[in-house]
C-alpha cells in the first residue's frame, strides 16, 4: 500500500469543493500502472501553470504532501523533492521521492523518477487554453516497488488522484479570485 501513497504524491493532482469534475482512468498491466487524468478550470493558462509548478508551496494546497521543495534548477530543468502521507481508512502510508522535472513553459511538465518509491516513473502534464479556461491533461506510467492489491489498489489510486487534481483546481480558482480582488 506504500505505492498508493507514492502515486498520489507523484501525480501532483483537491478538496471536494472544486466545481469542475475530474476524469481519472487507472489501468494495470502486469507490474505497470497507467494513470490518465483530464480536468478543466476557469482560469488563464498562466494561473494553472503557476499552481502546477509551485513546488515550494505545494504542501500548503495539496493535502497529502507534507514537504515539497525545489532542490535544483538549471533553466527549465528542475529537481523536486517531496514527501507526505496518504490515509486509507484507518491506515497511514508515508512516501518520499525526488523527481527530475522538465518544463516546456506554459504547456508541459515532464517528470521522471530520480529516487523514491518506484522501480520506474514517468509522467507528462499538459496545460492548454480553451475558450472557457484551461484543460489539464495528465498521463503517468509507474512501476511500483511494492505489491499493489489487484482490485483495491487501482480504486484507491483513482480516488486519491481525483482528490489531488480537485485540490489543484481549487488552488487555481482561489488564485483567480485573489487576482480579481487585487
Distances (CA, A) of 153 to 2, 87, 121, 163: 10, 13, 17, 15
Kindly report the pTM of this predicted structure: 0.86
pLDDT > 80? residue 180: yes
Cβ 33 vs Cβ 141: under 8 Å: yes
Which of 3.40.1390.30, 3.40.50.620, 1.20.1250.20, 3.30.530.20 would CATH assign to domain 2-181?
A: 3.30.530.20
Sign of torsion, CA 99 103 106 107? negative
- What value does the mean pLDDT of the chain take? 86
Kindly indicate the confidence band of residue 38, based on its pLDDT and cuts at 50, 70 and 90.
Answer: very high
For residues 180 and 72, give the distance between their C-alpha atoms in angstroms, rounded to a whole number.
33
pLDDT > 50? residue 4: no
What angle separates helix 45-52 from helix 152-181, to the nearest 10 degrees?
Answer: 130
pLDDT > 70? residue 1: no
The pLDDT of residue 91 is: 62
The pLDDT of residue 42 is: 95
pLDDT > 80? residue 27: yes
The pLDDT of residue 3 is: 43
Amino acid at each position: 500500500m506504500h505505492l498508493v501513497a507514492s502515486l498520489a504524491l507523484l501525480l501532483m493532482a483537491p478538496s471536494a469543493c472544486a466545481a469542475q469534475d475530474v476524469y481519472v482512468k487507472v489501468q494495470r498491466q502486469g507490474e505497470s500502472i497507467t494513470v490518465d487524468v483530464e480536468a478543466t478550470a476557469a482560469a488563464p493558462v498562466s494561473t494553472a501553470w503557476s499552481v502546477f509548478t509551485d513546488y515550494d508551496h505545494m504542501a500548503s494546497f495539496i493535502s497529502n504532501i507534507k514537504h515539497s521543495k525545489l532542490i535544483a534548477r538549471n533553466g527549465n530543468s528542475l529537481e523536486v523533492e517531496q514527501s507526505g502521507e496518504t490515509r486509507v481508512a484507518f491506515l497511514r502510508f508515508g512516501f518520499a521521492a525526488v523527481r527530475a522535472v522538465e518544463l516546456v513553459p506554459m504547456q508541459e511538465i515532464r517528470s521522471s523518477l530520480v529516487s523514491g518509491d518506484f522501480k520506474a516513473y514517468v509522467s507528462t502534464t499538459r496545460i492548454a487554453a480553451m475558450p472557457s479556461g484551461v484543460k489539464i491533461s495528465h498521463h503517468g506510467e509507474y512501476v511500483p516497488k511494492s505489491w499493489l492489491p489487484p482490485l483495491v489498489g487501482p480504486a484507491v489510486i483513482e480516488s486519491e488522484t481525483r482528490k489531488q487534481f480537485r485540490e489543484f483546481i481549487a488552488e487555481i480558482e482561489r488564485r483567480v479570485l485573489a487576482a480579481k480582488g487585487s
